[in-house]
Structure formats: structure tokens, C-alpha cells
Structure 1
């Protein structure tokens, strides 16, 4: 099996290597923020999630 080249790392839409920290910092640099309505989980969807907690 051939190894991938060191310089050819996968990059995401923001143009950075995929990692949580890189994504957060890239969003900050570009000034891309989400509206409050998309930041929070609605009461309806939270209740739906809660119903399934503990089930396998």
C-alpha cells in the first residue's frame, strides 16, 4: 500500500485541515457566524433527543 504524500492533506470548505480547532479558528477569521436561531437547540428537538437517552 502506497503512503500519501505529506503535503496532500484533506482540506474542508474553509480551506483548512480538518480538525475542530482549525475549523473554529477559520470561521473566526472569515467572520462566518451563525444566527442565534441556528446556534441553539429548539425545545421540540431537545425533548425528542431526551426521549431516546439511555436506549440502545
Structure 2
């Protein structure tokens, strides 16, 4: 008979490339600490893109 695999007692937590657990808040804070947060220009959506998106909203 084959032996059953045992699970380790301490589970390994998955980490992303920033070295933190995947969550929006953790990712934002990790980027802040590393000094690689996005500029204001890259954070905001363009007026043209927003208008296009707004046209598809159901009222």
C-alpha cells in the first residue's frame, strides 16, 4: 500500500511579487513602502475613456 501524504502543520502563505499576502490594502501599502506607487497621471481615468464607459451604464 502507498503511504498517504501528510499535510504540514504550518501552512505556507501565498505571497505576491511584493512579498505580501494578496489583498488590495496590502498591495497599496507595500507599494508605498517600496516607493513605487503610481503617479497621479496613471491613477486617474481619461475623460474620453470615462465617457465611453458611462455610455454603457444602465440607468
Compute the TM-score of the two structures, normalised by the length of structure 2.
0.71
What count of residue pairs does the alignment treat as equivalent?
Answer: 54
Which structure 1 segments of 5+ residues have no match? none
Partner residue, 2:32: 28
Structure 1 runs of 4+ off > 3 angstroms? 2-7
Q: C-alpha deviations, 1:12-56, integer Å up to 9, x for none?
A: 12110001121111111101121222111100100111011118x
1:1-12 alignment runs, 5 A limit: 6-12=10-16
Larger radius of gyration: 2
Structure 2 unaligned spans of 5+: 1-5
CA RMSD after TM alignment? 2.5
Distance 2:8 2:32 in 1: 30
